[in-house]
Amino acid sequence: MPTLRLALAQVNPTVGDLTGNAETVRRTSRTAVTAGAQLVVFPEMMLTGYPVEDLVFRKSFVTASRAALRRLAADLQADGLGAVPVLVGYLDSDEFGQTADGAVAGGETADGGPATSGTGPHRTRGPRNALAVLHGGTVAATYFKHHLPNYGVFDEDRYFVAGDTLTVVRVGGVDVGLTICEDLWQAGGPFAVARRAGVGLVVNINGSPYERNKDDVRLPLVRRRAAEAGATVAYVNMVGGQDELVFDGDSMVVAADGTLLARAPQFVEHLLVHDVDLPGATTDRDTDEVVTATGTTDEVAAGTRYTAGDGRTTMRIARVAVTDTLPAPAGPPADGGVAERVADEAEVWSALVLGLRDYVNKNGFPSIVLGLSGGIDSAVVAAIAVDALGPDRVVGVSLPSHHSSGHSRDDAADLAKRTGLDYRVEPIQPMVDGFLANMSLSGLAVENLQARVRGVILMALSNQEGHLVLTTGNKSELAVGYSTLYGDSVGGYNPLKDVWKSLVWQLASWRNADAVARGEQPPIPENSIQKPPSAELSPGQLDSDSLPDYSVLDPILVGYVDGDQGREDLVAAGHDPAILDRVLRMVDTAEYKRRQSAPGTKITIKAFGRDRRLPITNRWRERG
Amino acid sequence: MPTLRLALAQVNPTVGDLTGNAETVRRTSRTAVTAGAQLVVFPEMMLTGYPVEDLVFRKSFVTASRAALRRLAADLQADGLGAVPVLVGYLDSDEFGQTADGAVAGGETADGGPATSGTGPHRTRGPRNALAVLHGGTVAATYFKHHLPNYGVFDEDRYFVAGDTLTVVRVGGVDVGLTICEDLWQAGGPFAVARRAGVGLVVNINGSPYERNKDDVRLPLVRRRAAEAGATVAYVNMVGGQDELVFDGDSMVVAADGTLLARAPQFVEHLLVHDVDLPGATTDRDTDEVVTATGTTDEVAAGTRYTAGDGRTTMRIARVAVTDTLPAPAGPPADGGVAERVADEAEVWSALVLGLRDYVNKNGFPSIVLGLSGGIDSAVVAAIAVDALGPDRVVGVSLPSHHSSGHSRDDAADLAKRTGLDYRVEPIQPMVDGFLANMSLSGLAVENLQARVRGVILMALSNQEGHLVLTTGNKSELAVGYSTLYGDSVGGYNPLKDVWKSLVWQLASWRNADAVARGEQPPIPENSIQKPPSAELSPGQLDSDSLPDYSVLDPILVGYVDGDQGREDLVAAGHDPAILDRVLRMVDTAEYKRRQSAPGTKITIKAFGRDRRLPITNRWRERG
């Protein structure tokens, strides 16, 4: 039984940065080979970053991806790393000319025509979500993603043509099946075909975005696929933020019998190097086959979001002999270890910190600015920002008005002192009075005016000093529209966009407790956590004047927004019908505000944004 | 050869308004039957409106659509209209229980299971984009859309399961094939199967959004499908605005030999009643069949946006005998006539007027407000608004600063006088000075401040008086980011969002000339058309200080944005490389502004918004 030293490269690519991403592959491959790795695996769309969205339609970009792949193969060889197969995700296309290996792509006929023809309306040529095996300075083999996710935040039917061939590469005497991301989430798909192909290892490369509890789903899922394939599975996921998505890593190796052999930590770059014993390839199979695999459609834990296949997949198997001889691994056996799981709050906090840091850094902002009200939302965002960027890159501005309580200013100042951020005070009343003196405004118009003056001040600071403005409205507020458009919603990024208010409090308490446990100063003033929430736009105003208590509101919103539940389901779940009707109406009529809201890190199963697409013009109302 | 009197109901449904839309069907059916119609056809998703987007995932909504359909069938019978088949688009699902006909849906087996199983990863049960034949108080037959568009603004793979059965209903001795929208855009699909079924008429119901020149593509397309099916085609499209889409109608009847028999005007509700001679049904075919049709994949004129099928479709044919006896048509033969085509500018103007009117009215706004700068963009938007809503529902506010020229104020006042809108003047300098006195701002920060103060004033008027704020940035400005976020971009709707600056001028000239031709006052001051464009945010500022001339800029943008062309293509097209590099960079780095921009009517092949999905975080730059 051959032993292979695998290196799973859990790295952080940037969308569009072909040069930088290729550099990451070279650098990481060198480290891996130095550690004796015999097979190095990078994530889905490593070379282009993921998701590249409509860049797929830009021929110049596709061409550049293919060229960068070939250049990378040559560079790895020049680096003296050509003897070790390196697996890299990239963007390919068979719309114009040959695929990136310059010859026959896995299972495609030599003239570039499709190996089989589907019966549906789908194209047989076009852009491909692809995986390449780089070896000896060339592109030795390719695989095209078979199952294309087209739900939630994913639009892969928009972008890609599905591959219909399982590529099996022989590496150091082991047959290795190649798969990409969603292929793992479907029973009866490429993993079932991999069993028919008799592989010893299935590699699955991912751009799998973080969601709360997703890591709890992943391990059982990888186990089921390992059982289906009858082979060890090497699961590699990227880390890092990309607009509203944050990738959490969680790369792992699982044996055919379900044993978790090694697992990387979440939210950090990590090179997981691990020796695995694998069955040697049977030498009597060396021709291509066409097989139909049948599986059960038991997928998937996360429910309706993941579309189950029909449990019947016809694929060709294409076999490519890459190399029989691999460099012998030096030194002692490699054990990647199993990273410890962390608490839910720690996981969410890490996601929010990484999502913000990468948005700020990958977009080249020197610093961020936000308004500090003394309330819980801005306090938590400030703490996240300081964790992400350090206190020197965070500017907090207290923007008091007539209605601001003394404790608001004190709590904001206290937060600044605890975190060390750059603190300023900019009273808004003179500017507010300028509008009131020249216009006849009353009621809500005056309330919103204050929020908008604050927005203008923060944007002026942004223009003057170059900061990215952060906005701090939590998911509960966004859901019911409890915010002022172009007021407190002003900002280029919103770390709390997908965080329910109840969870904001939970995160604050967790972060403080975690600081105490580490012997550090808790960043968030206890008073900001304890006091009743208020927008402070009119005298004595409290959120509870306009909204149900968050302990009542949030469970309704979770059901309606995240769960797509209707009124009947929600009443059956025990919610008060009168409150329910008021809340659902607020959610329905706030869609126009959400459409203009800042991006923010997705952490739930259904984030506002591309994950939940509802019409603004919509007369449907859930009714009793 | 039987003669059928068709009534194509080109009507304007509202998303989510099941009750109102059903009322429209009843009212229109009554008119049609009074005119002697023997077959009445309504658009795609008539009952729910279109597109309903993620409402598809709300079980309560799907259930309500099915219930509304059955109630509508009963109501039509109660109205005395039950003898005439009425074809209505609606939302169905076979995920939970039976489909809406309460029995066997076309081609589905009686237990609700799929008739055939695909080979792809797609579900075999789920939500359906459906068509029902209502007759005799019941749902007599159904059809499920076969080709699901998943490009451009469409996400139908996200929402629907494709039907695999062509339903053929026998009505008054004629076999009628039922199809929906995208089915028309694919060769070798249901129309080819319809030929195998030997139908005399194919009905195609649509929610087909307007794009410039799309009507020029439609007629040849319908002709090709009529030839493919060897049958007359009745094409019915809705009219009206739905968020960023506007449906233009353009319903028509085309004979098998390509003769255009009747065609409705665009952008208005219209009942097209027309007698067609059709071949009688051959009586020897009365069992279901499974056929594979083959066509050529020559589609489609609009290029890469429309995915060509693979030219091979396997579908079941399900035959349903609806009625042999139809009421005899009264009076003289019906000729629907062929509506005259109008000029491109007239078409665009109508689209913008209807898009705005429906957004305002369907969302229940009493009126709109916008800032009038004296420039061309706000003048054109004001003229569109007055055409859409009448002058009494339009408030225009001049917001002069130190930098506003005398002519700006004069031109704004002149526009108000010409159109009769509610005109106000609100000088911004006192408010601007309030900020400048309390903050240290310079340069761009001061320029943007002025735009933001204007935004605050308009939003305050909106809060105080209930108007919807319109924003007026054209597509060229949005493309290069030549606007102030939360400043001039403030607003709930933007009629010019998808209109290039060059076209804005063209539209202004056309609208004025059209007024003269009708003996009316031209609404737009000639001076607003003639003067060089300026944001007037600093002394003597002109657009040309920051941007290439629009005659240079717009063709670059058309290629890069609408055409997905890369730098190489654009250089080959003759654009100056230095200008090109500057412009492409501006487009790439303005994505964050567009992400928070107001919705606006789509009129081009690729509108900003759901039509063009690009990452904000994106290091890819087209380079020489």
B609 SS3 class? strand
What residues in B contact A445, CB-CB < 8 Å? 460, 463-464
Instruction: Give yes or no for B456 touching A (CB within 8 A).
Output: yes
| Nearest-Cα residue of chain A relative to residue B621 | A16
Predicted local confidence at residue B123, as pLDDT: 60
Chain B residue numbers with beta carbons less than 8 Å from the beta carbon of A308 are: 123
Q: Is the pLDDT of residue A588 over 50?
A: yes
Beta strand B289-294 with B394-398: parallel, antiparallel or unpaired?
unpaired
User: What pLDDT, on the 0 to 100 scale, is given for residue A110?
Assistant: 28
**Residue A73 predicted with pLDDT over 90:** yes
Closest by CA position to A476, among listed A343, A348, A565, A604: A604
The neighbour count for residue A289, using CB atoms within 10 Å, is 14
Quickly state the pLDDT bin for A406 (edges 50, 70, 90). confident
Q: CA B83 to CA B315: how far, in whole Å?
A: 30
Give the whole-angstrom CA distance, residue A605 versus residue A353: 19
With CB atoms and an 8 Å threshold, state whether B431 touches A435: yes
Tally of CB atoms within 10 A around B98:
16
Residue type, B490: V
CA B517, CA B514: separation in Å to the nearest integer? Answer: 5
DSSP state of B305: G
At position A295, the amino acid (one-letter code) is G
User: Token match 């305050």: residue?
Assistant: B460
Distance CA B110, CA B107 (A): 9
A156 tagged catalytic: no
- Which residue in A358, A434, A620 is closest to B434 by CB distance? A434
The residue from A108, A145, A182, A211 that is catalytic is: A145
How many residues in chain B? 624
Residue of B185, B456, B588, B602 to mutate, interface with A, max A Cβ within 10 Å: B456
Whether the Cβ atoms of residue A297 and residue A308 lie closer than 8 Å to each other: yes
3-state secondary structure of B233: strand
A99 pLDDT higher than 70: no
Q: Which residues in chain A have Cβ-Cβ distances shorter than 8 Å to B368? A: none
* For testing contact with chain B, the best of A157, A305, A493, A589 (most B CBs within 10 A): A157
Distance in Å, alpha carbon of B285 to nearest chain A alpha carbon: 25
- pTM here is 0.94
Q: Is A602 a residue of the active site?
A: no
CA of B614 vs chain A CAs: smallest distance (Å):
5
Q: How far is CA B25 from the centre of its chain?
A: 20
Query: A473-519: per-residue pLDDT in tens?
Result: 999 999 999 999 999 999 999 999 999 999 999 999 999 999 999 99
- Asked if the C-beta of B559 comes within 8 angstroms of chain A's C-beta atoms, the answer is no
On chain A, the residues whose CB falls within 8 A of the CB of B440 are 464
Q: Is residue A107 within 8 Å of A138, Cβ to Cβ?
A: no
- Antiparallel, parallel or unpaired: β B252-254 and B289-294: unpaired
B124 reaches A (C-beta below 8 A): yes
| CB contact burial B322-341 (16+ within 10 A = b; e otherwise) | bbeebeebeeeebebeebee
Q: Do A619 and B17 touch (CB under 8 A)?
A: yes
B-chain residues near A158 (CB < 8 A): 150-151, 155, 157
pLDDT of residue A284: 63
User: Under a CB-based contact definition with an 8 Å cutoff, are residues B396 and B370 in contact?
Assistant: yes
Q: Which residues 237-276 in chain A show a CB within 8 A of chain B?
A: 241-243
Q: Which residue(s) pair with B86 in the sheet?
A: B40, B134
The pLDDT of residue B312 is: 63
Provide φ and ψ at B87, rounded to 5°: -100, 125
Q: Closest to A567 (Cβ–Cβ): which among B60, B362, B621? A: B60
Do A304 and B445 lie within an 8 Å CB cutoff?
Answer: no
Q: What is the pLDDT of residue A330?
A: 78
Judged by CB atoms closer than 8 Å, whether chains meet at B616 and A243 is answered as yes
User: Which positions of B are catalytic?
Assistant: 44, 145, 181
- Verify whether the Cβ–Cβ distance B617 to A438 is below 8 Å: no
Instruction: For residue A396, give the DSSP letter.
Output: E
Determine the residue of chain B that is closest to A430 in CA distance: B434
A195 touches chain B (CB under 8 A): no
- Is 80 exceeded by the pLDDT of residue A411? yes
Residue A107 pLDDT exceeds 60: no
Q: A147 in contact with B at a CB cutoff of 8 Å?
A: yes
Looking at residue B406, its pLDDT comes to 83
- For chain B positions 331-370, those within 8 Å of chain A (CB to CB) are 358-359, 362-363
Nearest-by-Cβ selection for B54 from A14, A441, A613: A613
pLDDT at A115 over 80: no
Q: Coil, strand, or helix at residue A322?
A: strand
Say yes or no for a CB contact (<8 Å) between A434 and B438.
no
* Residues in chain B with pLDDT values less than 50: 102-122, 296-309
Considering CB atoms only, which of A121, A595, A598 is closest to B309?
A: A121
Instruction: For A281-333, write each residue's pLDDT tens digit.
Output: 976 665 667 777 665 444 433 333 334 445 567 899 999 999 999 999 878 99
What is the structure's pLDDT at A8?
Answer: 98
Q: Min CA distance, B83 vs chain A (Å)?
A: 31
Interface test mutation site (partner B, options A19, A398, A618, A621, max chain B beta carbons within 10 A): A618
- pLDDT (tens digit, 9 = 90+) per residue, B533-550? 988 888 888 999 999 999
Q: Which run of H or E residues covers position A10?
A: strand A3-10
pLDDT band for A130, please (50, 70, 90 cuts): very high
Question: In angstroms, what CA-CA distances link A327 with A33, A85, A331, B179, B601?
Answer: 9, 11, 12, 61, 61
Pairwise CB contact (< 8 Å): A569 & B60:
yes
Q: What is the pLDDT of residue A181?
A: 97
Question: Hey, what long-range contacts does A384-387 have (CB within 8 A, 24 or more apart)?
Answer: A384/A349, A384/A352, A384/A353, A384/A356, A384/A495, A385/A356, A385/A421, A385/A470, A385/A495, A386/A419, A386/A420, A386/A421, A386/A523, A387/A349, A387/A353
A180 touches chain B (CB under 8 A): no
Contact in structure between A339 and A239 (CB atoms under 8 Å): no
Distances B115 to A406, B294, B315, B319 between C-alpha atoms, Å: 70, 20, 10, 14
Closest residue by Cα to residue A344 from A510, A468, A233, A470: A510
Is some CB atom of chain B closer than 8 A to the CB atom of A67?
Answer: no
Interface of B with A in 364-423 (CB under 8 A): none
CB pairs under 8 A between A and B: 298
Nearest alpha-carbon partner for A204 in A12, A42, A396, A2: A42
Phi, psi of B118 (to 5 degrees): -75, 175
In contact, A274 and A334? CB cutoff 8 Å: yes
DSSP 3-state helix, strand, coil percentages of chain A (rounded to 5)?
35, 20, 45
Give A108's pLDDT tier (boundaries 50, 70, 90).
Answer: very low
Buried/exposed A413-437: b ≥16 CB within 10 Å, e otherwise: bbbbebbebebeebbbbebbebbbe
- Annotated catalytic residue within A108, A156, A181, A362: A181
